[in-house]
Amino acid sequence: MSARFLAKVLLAPALIGAGVIAGYAQERFSENPIKDGAWVYPTEKIAPAVVEAFCQSGFSVHFADGGFFTVLNQPIARMKKKLSVDTSGTCSFNVEKQVSTCTGTETDGRRKFALNEENIFERDGGYLKVTTSFIDRDTKEKVAFVTYPVRCPDKVVREILIKAIPPK
């Protein structure tokens, strides 16, 4: 066998595989991939078995009209939690740019700040990857960070809400 033949045989699968991976990574979303429901935004890819633990500390609830709010589930006493709304606003998704722009209000203690962020969506293997950018309110510089959003199971969200806001 010639070196040229071997190069073609060995390179062909690599080039085909790279094309498939590149095509998969560039999947286009026809709508905002963050659908209705409660979501967590870990900064690393997490296993399905760990999702519930992430949801226990807080989550963002998203609605079909683009509205959302973020709930923090903070411990206040033994076996009790206090829910508080940290952020609220609306997101609009641009199909052409594969970006959602979110505006609203962010709460830090008793102070409120305007929320204005841009989320770029893409696939990273089997995971949804979001790069969020905004202007840092302290440094006034543009900041970006990556998260891998995962939807919280409805059962877990329901249990959190019932424990924090018991029925009357």
> Can you give the residue ranges of every domain in the chain?
1-28, 37-164
Please report the pLDDT score of residue 5 as a whole number. Answer: 29
Q: What is the DSSP letter of 28?
A: P
158: left (phi over 0), alpha (psi -120 to 50) or beta: alpha
Mean pLDDT of 17-38: 70
60/69 Cα distance (integer angstroms): 6
Res 20 pLDDT > 50: no
Q: Are 124 and 33 in contact (CB under 8 A)?
A: no
What pLDDT does residue 81 have?
64
pLDDT for 34 beyond 70 = yes
What band does 102 get if pLDDT is binned at 50, 70 and 90? very high
Please state, rounded to an integer, the average pLDDT across all residues of the chain. Answer: 82
pLDDT over 90 at 73, yes or no:
no
Topology adopted by domain 37-164: Lipocalin (2.40.128)
pLDDT at 80: 61
pLDDT at 24: 45
